[in-house]
Structure 1
Amino acid sequence: MSLSPVEGVALAEIESGDGGDAPREKGFVGRSPGQLAWVRLRRDRTAVVSGAMLVFFVVVALAAPLIQWAYGMSPREQFQGALDGFGMPLGYAGGVSGEHWFGLEPGLGRDIFIRMVYGLRTSLFIAIAAAVITTAIGIALGTLAGYLGGWFDAVINWITDLTLAMPFLIIALALTPTLTLRFYGERGQVSAAFGVGVLIAVFAIFGWTSTARLVRGQVIALREREFVEAARASGAGLGHMLFRQLLPNIWAPVLVAFSLAVPQFITSEAALSFIGVGLSDETPSFGRMIYRSLDFLQTDPAYVFFPGITIFALVFAFNLFGDALRDALDPKSSR
């Protein structure tokens, strides 16, 4: 029988009846590491507030079509009649009104609020999809490298070092236009799905290395433990060793790494969109909105304020929740 390290907590409960007729009983309730982490997380105010913010952002992103229907505007619809002769929005604060909650884009006259809603949807989809793919690749390669060792571990380490040595920004700048020309040539507008897929692929190529090294180190520390040796001595196969013995004991650091990878991909997507890589101007994106707002910093500061403060709040909430999750999953934490 294989044993894995489990942290338990015993709570004494004393029950007494009315009038002292019922005897007092003492019981002990054990808690799993997941239950302990959940208790710590609920007691952490920072985790509760940041988690509530993340739930709000996710709900807004998922409900984007419903919000568009209720708002009555699409992200590509233009309101040229609400612009003056210079292409600037009429009214105060960039055209903020009851009809256009966050105003209009100078020049094109598109509604900023509905484009931010879809921009949030784009950023979260790219970041979460890339984080899932990179985490899966990192877990697979790191687990195999750490458990098998030998030449396989050496090859994975060599590939990891090679990937880390590649300049991410230069490769992204060179790879994205090349793929676009390969599939679209000199034709018209590149589809939004293609741009999103290219960004996810670029992040997947470069983003798995940190998770792979983290998992490899954890597996190397676990593979000589008694429960692993017992399972190996009993004739357990490779699949059983990986999925039943090793992976259940490394989920905590992997979960923390995933929670911290999502905001990293959000800022990377915004940065690449800012310099015109990946997503076209037709696809709602915080990076493209902030890029277009640079020409109107003095005349229309509201244009950069709304998308800028939103992406700041999104990344900040993810980072705070990731830190709180790391503390909650740490058995030695006093929080």
Structure 2
Amino acid sequence: MSLSQIETDAAGVDATAVPTAPQPGMVGRSPGKLAWARLRANRTAMVSAWIMLFFIVLGLAAPLVEVLYGISPFEQFQDKIANNSLPLGYFGGVSGEHWFGLEPQLGRDIFIRLVYGLRTSLFIATSAALLTTAMGIVLGIVSGYLGGWIDAVISWVIDFALALPFLIFALAIMPTVTARFYGPRDEIPVPFRIGVMIFLFALFGWTGTARLVRGQVISLREREFVEAARASGAGLFHILFKQLLPNLWAPILVSFSLAVPGYITGEAALSFLGIGVVDPTPDFGVMINKSLSYAQTDPAYLIFPGVAIFLLVLAFNLFGDGLRDALDPKSSR
């Protein structure tokens, strides 16, 4: 028996064997790459992402679309409106010049107003989602890590805010704030109305993210890396935003992606009720409100903005669900 065979029998391992190279399919991947692979494998999420990206690009490029389309959102075509205030032609005046037809009575082009209304809704919803997410992160991470009376106070504020009916307070706050800065005969600027709407969404919308972040921080604050940071003399800011926050991005991204469609519908609802964006500013809620009077005589005026906001909100919701499943595979079980 040779020396190598004796070593193999004694140790159970062939000492003369040459280590093989790792197989290409066994290369380790980071959690981010694994989540991206799961997201790409989700066809519903990817289709929703492309639809969502299309709407975002269309809204951002609204001025360019206006130039290419050749029609302004405020331009009126009274010569194409009949005596009964309805557009001439079939299905609300749909033609090669006016892709989605014309508005009854005023004769404004529906397509270009939808494009600018898309930009309005996305700006308000994204701004509100960013603001509420930032507030929720700060208050949630502070509440969950410090605990004690600070946690009790913030938790009580969260419960109190969740108990308040948003729509009733919005109906009361919007006219009150407007009357504080403008008189009854003054024309209220559109940026002011948009700012108040974002303020309302921020006032009520931060609680969900704060509660989510607080629960995650409570489960992380006793982990080894946090104890090591404390032992090394790290400050409070470093522990909260350098150690804990990087481990919270997954639920925060999911919360943000699901908050945007909620604010899109919320903005449309407030504008529909007349306390948000008002005519002549293009907006989904304003168009749906005005189209109800012509639901039987000109259904195209209701169908186009209704389908647009439905597809937009559905795409955001489906993508948010797919993102949640990609970042946390156990959530789909």
TM-score in terms of structure 2 length: 0.91
Aligned equivalents of 1:87, 1:289: Cα separation in 2? 16
1:154-194 Cα shifts (integer Å, max 9, x gaps): 11111111211221111100111112222221234322111
The match for 2:252 is 254
1:30: Cα distance to partner?
2.6
1:282-313 Cα shifts (integer Å, max 9, x gaps): 11111110110111011000000000001000
Identity among equivalent positions (%) equals: 68
The match for 1:32 is 30
- Structure 1 residue ranges without an equivalent (≥5): 1-22
1:51-109 Cα shifts (integer Å, max 9, x gaps): 00011000000100000111111111111111011111001000111111101111111
1:273: Cα distance to partner?
0.8
Question: Is the counterpart of residue 192 in structure 1 residue 201 in structure 2?
Answer: no
1:228: Cα distance to partner?
1.1
Question: Is the counterpart of residue 119 in structure 1 residue 114 in structure 2?
Answer: no
Whether the 8 Å CA contact 1:190–1:280 is kept in 2: the answer is: no
Query: Secondary structure at the residue paired with 1:194?
Result: helix
**Bigger-Rg structure (1/2):** 2
The match for 1:156 is 154
> Which of 231, 234, 237 is the matching residue for 2:232?
234
Q: What RMSD, in angstroms, separates the aligned Cα atoms of the two structures?
A: 1.5
> Within 5 Å, which residues of 2 pair with 1:209-228?
209-228=207-226
The match for 2:243 is 245
Aligned equivalents of 1:53, 1:37: Cα separation in 2? 20
The match for 2:8 is none
Whether the 8 Å CA contact 2:258–2:316 is kept in 1: the answer is: yes
Partner amino acid for 2:142? L
> Which of 166, 181, 190 is the matching residue for 1:183?
181
Aligned equivalents of 2:329, 2:76: Cα separation in 1? 54
The match for 1:15 is none
The match for 1:74 is 72
> Within 5 Å, which residues of 2 pair with 1:261-272?
261-272=259-270
Query: Secondary structure at the residue paired with 2:179?
Result: helix
Query: Secondary structure at the residue paired with 1:76?
Result: coil
Aligned equivalents of 2:96, 2:274: Cα separation in 1? 32
Query: Secondary structure at the residue paired with 2:22?
Result: strand
> Which of 84, 87, 92 is the matching residue for 1:86?
84
Partner amino acid for 2:91? A
Query: Secondary structure at the residue paired with 1:206?
Result: helix
1:123-154 Cα shifts (integer Å, max 9, x gaps): 11111100000000000000000000111111
1:333: Cα distance to partner?
6.4
1:280: Cα distance to partner?
1.1
Query: Secondary structure at the residue paired with 1:25?
Result: coil
Partner amino acid for 1:153? D
Whether the 8 Å CA contact 2:324–2:331 is kept in 1: the answer is: no
Partner amino acid for 2:218? I
Question: Is the counterpart of residue 205 in structure 1 residue 203 in structure 2?
Answer: yes
Partner amino acid for 1:162? F
1:321: Cα distance to partner?
0.3
Partner amino acid for 1:141? L
The match for 1:65 is 63
Query: Secondary structure at the residue paired with 1:208?
Result: helix
The match for 1:276 is 274
Aligned equivalents of 2:146, 2:331: Cα separation in 1? 32
Aligned equivalents of 2:32, 2:116: Cα separation in 1? 34
1:36-62 Cα shifts (integer Å, max 9, x gaps): 111111111111100000110000001
Q: Say if 1:188 and 1:100 are closer, same or farther in 2 by CA, change over 3 A.
A: farther
